[in-house]
Amino acid sequence: MYRIVSIPGDGIGPEVVAGALEVLGTVAKTHGLEYSVEEHPFGGASYDLHGEMLTEDTLEACRNCDAVLLGAVGGPKWENLPHEKKPEAALLRIRKELGLFANLRPAKVYDALVDASSLKDEVVRGTDFLVFRELTGGIYFGQPRGYDENRGWNTMVYERYEVERIARLAFEAARKRTGRVMSIDKANVLEVSQFWRNVVHEVHKEYQDVELSDMYVDNAAMQIVRNPKQFDVIVTGNLFGDILSDIAGMITGSLGMLPSASIGTKHALYEPIHGSAPDIAGRNIANPIATIASLAMMFEHSFRRTDIASEIYEAIENALASGIRTADIAKPGEKSVSTTDMTNTIVRHLGA
């Protein structure tokens, strides 16, 4: 029995999560799987109901399930709340409370979508790399932090164990891919980055079969759009990983294509990397692929069913190859389909 907590969240979150749950029901029926889905509010939806973005009930449900599927949180409605009450603060808290220290973000260009990228065909075709972003340390969590009318301050801190554990995951993943890790930092300026680099190289001694290289983050931002095929596995800190994985969205053509997995020792949460897109919420035009691919990552990493994950990825690829497009990946003037139409097409290809 797979116990899943569903957190639709805000904006387009409920629409794209509904698509992923439809796919879940299909593969469960095909493979004879037993599962349960328990829905809980989070973000603005929770604030409107309970006056807080993350309740203890939701947090406890996440602690007691096998995996969490999250849609998206936030929107203009809650932007003027105090900083500590905003949806983003709740996201940081749930990651910390569940110990989700590793954020995995694949950047894969489907052949059928090469022309959706703003980059040239020959640059992006065949791109397939994986970003390991450290998720519970760094400047997002460092103390002291704050601001007044004259000054704002944050602290970037990394402990040895935080760097060691994310580096090991990256090296392990590289062993199953093409055996290359790129560690990205700013060691020429930041002492904390020099520490990061030193520890990654120490861990590398345990993985001599894997090639390790270093790159400064500013160069990495350029190289990802200049020659993305040079990368296999990227490992980097919280802030840099946040920025670089969003840059990867331009390679794939849309943030609506990018899934993610946030993994800890005991818990895991899966979500698309896009936001809540309140401007298109309720219109049934959001791209559900990132959330459906996040479900595939759930089967891959939490349930250890790589066969089912592969089936979902293949169904996505076949749906795109059939020419169907949501608005975010359609060419100018090209007819686009709804969220439910894209979901139903992927489901049909799963059946096939």
- The residues assigned a catalytic role are 140, 186, 218, 242, 246
Q: How far apart are CA 139 and CA 186, in angstroms?
A: 13
Q: How far apart are CA 183 and CA 213, in angstroms?
A: 6
How far is the CA of 74 from the CAs of 64, 89, 93, 261, 275, in angstroms?
Answer: 25, 10, 15, 19, 8
**Amino acid (1-letter code) at residue 199:** V
Q: How far apart are CA 35 and CA 19, in angstroms?
A: 17
With vertex at residue 94, the alpha carbon angle to CA 295 and CA 278, rounded to the nearest 5 degrees, is: 65
**Cβ atoms of 233 and 258 closer than 8 Å:** no
Structure tokens at 161: 């164990």
3-state secondary structure of 159: coil
Q: How far apart are CA 175 and CA 341, in angstroms?
A: 38
Radius of gyration of the chain (CA): 20
| Beta carbons within 8 Å of 228's beta carbon, 6+ residues apart | 107, 109, 123, 124, 127, 129, 248, 251
Judged on CB neighbours under 10 Å (0-12, 13-18, 19+), 230 is middle
A 10 A CB-CB count for 75 gives 21
With vertex at residue 260, the alpha carbon angle to CA 256 and CA 261, rounded to the nearest 5 degrees, is: 160
